[in-house]
Every structure is written in structure tokens, then in C-alpha cells.
């Protein structure tokens, strides 16, 4: 096994799930496990969550749903982006529940369902301001009227998605008002739904009035608040620790360079440790000369350009040896750690990208 591994702590996943259950109240949890469960491993995370009582899962694409079905996940699987009409067959064959906003897709879904004699469940997606996917509120009644001609499709659910639930509360509340208005006008026309959902992680905590029959937590499942680092409204613990080992230590002189393109020139003699993790593993090149890691409980800064397969660390004159553990995300305890928020700030991105960037070539090790 490689020195570089991602350790996944199921105890923290369960801790986070319990927080979500408490916050969600009577609402069902649609656990968002798209993008390889935010880098944590879609199959292993989903199996553990199913063992812990989760009966609904959200994926981005139909192919992710097939991975779960082939792994033995029997719970409801919701496809957030059904994509092209060709994926209608996948939804039918694998009993997936698509979130739809296209009559063309419904037509293909119905045709595929007819071939097998199945009745397929679906949700409609209302665009309340994200402008990424969904039906405009003013078109919702017409959409439902057209959908009624597909007798082998049951529109059992309706949803929307907040664009700014963690940042701009005014806009999020405007979206909620549009969604509630759409529900009202549909109800007046006789359209009611078994499942209604809008909440992502942020809205679930910050907007109790937006809680319907289901919630869709993502980042909170994996241990980070979707607002700001350390937000005490989110009682969660990081699930992933990204660690490696020192594979070499060399002494360099004043004026020596480290790495590609001479991005670092030493101003004195010092020890440089090489760590076998790089941007090919998801440790972003943007960390060059910025990020810190933990070795023997002390923080050290990366120096020189992050390579595809390795990075280098300035360990000064400290007694660092080959084989010493290196923590690049997380840490050996709950106090001295490197946070995904910390790395995201250095790379001018968000913790979602830090977590989901951990590549498939990094082995995941799961601990109860």
C-alpha cells in the first residue's frame, strides 16, 4: 500500500449523521453522496449510512446510481442531473428516481418504462433563482399537465435548490417564497406531492421554515460547516484525514532551489523533507509555498512547486526522519489539525473542492 492514504473515520460520520437527524426533526434525510461521496468513497460511505438507517441517497448522475445498485444499495436513489435522454434507460433499469425538468426526458423515460412494464417515480425540479436546471415557477402547471399523459410515470416529489443559503439570506428567502408560491398554485390545481425538499446543509440549520418532508445534507455529513470555519451552529466532525510519510530528507544550502521552475530559493541552510503526495493525488498545485502540514505534532510549510506525485517541506534544523507520519488534512488528534477550510483559503476555493479533489489513486482506509 502507498504511504499516502485517506483515513475515513466512520465514528465521525455517525456523529455528523446524528446531528443532522436532530436538526432535521421529522424530515427524511437524502444523503448526498455524489462525487464519490465528496471524495470519501461512495460505496463505503453509502453502505455505512444505510446501516445507520439512511434510506435515501442523492447522486449527481445516473452512472453514480448504478455504482450504488451494483454494490447492493437497495434504498431510494435520487438522480439530481439525469443528463441526456439516453440516461432514461439507466433510470428505468436500475430503479432510480430522477429529478426532472424536461418533457423530452419524461417522454424517453416513459418509453423505456413501457418496454419493461414498469411504473417509474420522479420528482420535478423548480428553478427559483439558481438558473442552473429546473422548471420556471410560471411553467409548473403546464409541465404537470403535460406530464399527466405519461401514465407509467408518477411525479411523487418536487424540489428546488438554494443558491445562497450559506451567504446571502435575503436571496435565499426570496427563493423560498417563490417555491412556496409554486407549491400553492400547484395545490390549487390539484397537484400535491409525497416528497418536498429544498434544504441543503446550510438551509437545514439556518432556515427552519424551509424544512419540508426531506432534507439534502452534503458537506455537514463529511464534517464541515457550509458557512464559515468553526460555525458552532454545525456540531460536526471531519471524517477524512489525509496522511503520508516522509520518504527522504536532504540538507540544502543558501541559494539552493527546490522543485520545478525555481519557485523557492533558500535563504539559508535547512532540511527539506520529500512527501509522496502531489496534485495527481488531489493535493492542489495552488498549495505551492503556502500550505502547512503536521509532522511529529509540529507545523511545517511546503516549499517549491507541488509536483504531480510529491511535494517538499521545509523542516528547518529539526530531527525529522524517513518514515515519520505527515498529516496534510486533519491531524493525529482533534486539536492540532489542518482543516479543509484552511487549504481552501490558500487555494482560493471552497472545502468542497478540497475534499472531492482527493483522487482515486489515494487508497481509502475505513475505521469504525
169 has pLDDT over 90: no
Give me the mean pLDDT over the 198-223 stretch: 95
| Cell numbers placing 141 | 402547471
User: What is the spatial distance between Cα 284 and Cα 328, in angstroms, rounded to a whole number?
Assistant: 11
**Helices 103-116, 140-147: inter-axial angle, 10-degree rounding:** 20
With beta carbons less than 8 A apart as the criterion, state whether 144 and 124 touch. yes
Give me the mean pLDDT over the 222-240 stretch: 91
User: What is the spatial distance between Cα 204 and Cα 188, in angstroms, rounded to a whole number?
Assistant: 27
Three-class SS of residue 364? strand
Could you tell me which residues come within 8 angstroms of residue 131 by beta carbon, excluding any fewer than 6 positions away?
none
* Phi-psi group of 305: left, alpha or beta (phi > 0 → left; psi -120 to 50 → alpha; rest → beta): beta
Could you tell me which residues come within 8 angstroms of residue 80 by beta carbon, excluding any fewer than 6 positions away?
34, 58, 59, 60, 99
With beta carbons less than 8 A apart as the criterion, state whether 136 and 128 touch. no
Q: Read off the pLDDT of residues 29-62 as tens digits, 9 standing for 90 and up.
A: 999 999 999 999 999 999 999 999 999 999 999 9
User: What is the spatial distance between Cα 235 and Cα 207, in angstroms, rounded to a whole number?
Assistant: 16
With beta carbons less than 8 A apart as the criterion, state whether 64 and 252 touch. no
At 88, is the pLDDT very low, low, confident or very high (cuts 50, 70, 90)?
very high
Give me the mean pLDDT over the 110-121 stretch: 96
84 has pLDDT over 80: no
With beta carbons less than 8 A apart as the criterion, state whether 293 and 273 touch. no
Which residues pair with residue 265 across a beta bridge?
257
User: What is the spatial distance between Cα 263 and Cα 38, in angstroms, rounded to a whole number?
Assistant: 31
1 has pLDDT over 80: no
Q: Which residue has the cell 434525510?
A: 29
pLDDT for res 273: 98
Read off the pTM: 0.95
| Cell numbers placing 139 | 411553467
167 has pLDDT over 90: no
Q: Read off the pLDDT of residues 311-360 as tens digits, 9 standing for 90 and up.
A: 999 999 999 999 999 999 999 987 789 999 999 999 999 999 999 999 99
pLDDT for res 229: 82
CB 18: neighbour CB atoms within 10 A?
A: 13
Q: Phi/psi of residue 32, each to 5°?
A: -85, 115
pLDDT for res 86: 79
Three-class SS of residue 36? helix
Which residues pair with residue 273 across a beta bridge?
249, 313
> Cα dist. 110→86, 91, 132, 148, 185 in Å?
12, 11, 24, 11, 26
Among 41, 49, 60, 39, which Cα is nearest to 340's? Answer: 39
Whole-number average pLDDT of the chain: 96
User: What is the spatial distance between Cα 31 and Cα 24, in angstroms, rounded to a whole number?
Assistant: 12
Could you tell me which residues come within 8 angstroms of residue 336 by beta carbon, excluding any fewer than 6 positions away?
294, 297
User: What is the spatial distance between Cα 212 and Cα 363, in angstroms, rounded to a whole number?
Assistant: 38
Three-class SS of residue 310? coil
Full set of structural domains in the chain with CATH: 10-222 (3.20.20.10), 240-367 (2.40.37.10)
Q: Phi/psi of residue 237, each to 5°?
A: -130, 135
Just list the catalytic residues: 34, 260
With beta carbons less than 8 A apart as the criterion, state whether 293 and 274 touch. no
User: What is the spatial distance between Cα 364 and Cα 47, in angstroms, rounded to a whole number?
Assistant: 15
pLDDT for res 238: 96
> Cα dist. 181→14, 130, 185 in Å?
36, 17, 6
Give me the mean pLDDT over the 241-260 stretch: 98
Amino acid at each position: 500500500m502507498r504511504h499516502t492514504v485517506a483515513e475515513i473515520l466512520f465514528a465521525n460520520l455517525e456523529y455528523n449523521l446524528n446531528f443532522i437527524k436532530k436538526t432535521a426533526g421529522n424530515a427524511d434525510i437524502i444523503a448526498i453522496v455524489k462525487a464519490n461521496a465528496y471524495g470519501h468513497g461512495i460505496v463505503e460511505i453509502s453502505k455505512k449510512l444505510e446501516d445507520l438507517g439512511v434510506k435515501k441517497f442523492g447522486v449527481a448522475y445516473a452512472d453514480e446510481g448504478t455504482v450504488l445498485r451494483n454494490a447492493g444499495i437497495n434504498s431510494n436513489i435520487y438522480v439530481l442531473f439525469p443528463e441526456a435522454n439516453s440516461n432514461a434507460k439507466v433510470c428505468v433499469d436500475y430503479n432510480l428516481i430522477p429529478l426532472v425538468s424536461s418533457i423530452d426526458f419524461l417522454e424517453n423515460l416513459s418509453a423505456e418504462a413501457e418496454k419493461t412494464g414498469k411504473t417509474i417515480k420522479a420528482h420535478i425540479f423548480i428553478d427559483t433563482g439558481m438558473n442552473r436546471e429546473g422548471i420556471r415557477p410560471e411553467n409548473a402547471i403546464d409541465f404537470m399537465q403535460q406530464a399527466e399523459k405519461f401514465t407509467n410515470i408518477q411525479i411523487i416529489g418536487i424540489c428546488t435548490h438554494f443558491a445562497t443559503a450559506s451567504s446571502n439570506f435575503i436571496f435565499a428567502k426570496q427563493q423560498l417564497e417563490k417555491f412556496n408560491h409554486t407549491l400553492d398554485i400547484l395545490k390549487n390545481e390539484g397537484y400535491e406531492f409525497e416528497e418536498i425538499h429544498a434544504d441543503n446543509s446550510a438551509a437545514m440549520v439556518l432556515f427552519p421554515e424551509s424544512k419540508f418532508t426531506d432534507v439534502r445534507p452534503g458537506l455537514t455529513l463529511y464534517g464541515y460547516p457550509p458557512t464559515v470555519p468553526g460555525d458552532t451552529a454545525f456540531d460536526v466532525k471531519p471524517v477524512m484525514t489525509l496522511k503520508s510519510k516522509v520518504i527522504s530528507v536532504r540538507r540544502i544550502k543558501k541559494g539552493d532551489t527546490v522543485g520545478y521552475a525555481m519557485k523557492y530559493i533558500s535563504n539559508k541552510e535547512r532540511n527539506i523533507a520529500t512527501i509522496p503526495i502531489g496534485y495527481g493525488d488531489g493535493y492542489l498545485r495552488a498549495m505551492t509555498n503556502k500550505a502547512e502540514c503536521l509532522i511529529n505534532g509540529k507545523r511545517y510549510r511546503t516549499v517549491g512547486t507541488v509536483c504531480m506525485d510529491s511535494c517538499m517541506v521545509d523542516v528547518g534544523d529539526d530531527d525529522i526522519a524517513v518514515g515519520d507520519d505527515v498529516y496534510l488534512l486533519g491531524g493525529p488528534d482533534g486539536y492540532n489539525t489542518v482543516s479543509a477550510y484552511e487549504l481552501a483559503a490558500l487555494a482560493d476555493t471552497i472545502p468542497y473542492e478540497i475534499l472531492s479533489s482527493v483522487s482515486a489513486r489515494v487508497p481509502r482506509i475505513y475505521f469504525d
